[in-house]
Amino acid sequence: MSTTQQDDALKAVQELRSAGGIVLHKDQTLQEGYLPSTAEQAESIRKIIGLEPDTSLESYRLGAAFVHAAWFTRDYSSEGEFRLHDIWCCLNGENLNFTDRHLSAEENETLQKLKVLDQCLESGRLTGIYVSESGEGEIWFYDNNSRLLKRLDIDYRSYVQNLFTIKGTSGWQYLFTDTDLSGDKFDVLVDYLKNALNDFPTVFPEYDYTDLRTRLEART
């Protein structure tokens, strides 16, 4: 990566803050709880997020325990939120230890073992990392509204890159699942995503939204 994750996170928040048609109503960077990692811990983190052994981990750390932003457009056509946790703070935290009676026993087993990476506090949606027995990380998305748990077809680094690109628009994680979004229960999320992906190329012109738009079209 050409910049650090900390730089990219602060840039994403500043872009939301500066965008004329967007209201940023939550903006917090929490330093308290940010943890250094030992050499042994860093080696484990690299494996979980798919880095080569000699890759500098510091470029992939957030420089804070978490960065939190929530926004909506002035015409209320779209909204989004992210509370991205630093990777070591995420992995060093407690398991989610939560079950949902609408999920299968196997799904609940996975849900309980998730380490929370990203949260949308207003909607109850979250993204977590599941560490397999081999020590590799899987990215999972839980939607408390639709009672769905989905593994994302994306790795940690791509997750963070896409998060900053789409600025946490509500439901964006579904674009990396096999979910059919054409049903009525996804109407609001689909509208948010369509509106954001129509407007963002103009609002944030340095980002490429082609892949995200293609993914949305394929699921609707």
For the chain, the structural domain boundaries read: 5-219
Residue 29: per-residue pLDDT: 95
Report the pLDDT averaged over residues 61-89: 97
Whole-number pLDDT of residue 1: 45
The answer, yes or no, to whether residue 213 has pLDDT greater than 80, is yes
Can you give the chain as a three-state secondary structure string? Answer: CCCCHHHHHHHHHHHHHHCCCEEEEEEEEECCCCCCCCHHHHHHHHHHHCCCCCCCCHHHCCCCCEEEEEEEECCCCCEEEEEEECHHHHHHCCCCCCCCCCCCHHHHHHHHCCEEEEEECCCCEEEEEEECCCCCEEEEEEECCCCEEEECCCCHHHHHHHHHHHCCECCHHHHHCCCCCCCHHHHHHHHHHHHHHHHHHHHCCCCCCHHHHHHHHHHC
The pLDDT value given to residue 46: 96
Averaged pLDDT, 144-168: 97
pLDDT tens, residue by residue, 98-139: 999 999 999 999 999 999 999 999 888 999 999 999 999 999
pLDDT score for 2: 58
pLDDT in tens, 163-205: 999 999 999 999 999 999 998 999 999 999 999 999 999 999 9
Asked whether residue 90 carries a pLDDT value surpassing 80, the answer given is: yes
pLDDT digits (tens, 9 = 90+) for 11-31: 999 999 999 999 999 999 999
Percentage of the chain surpassing pLDDT 90? 91
| Mean pLDDT score across all residues of the chain | 95
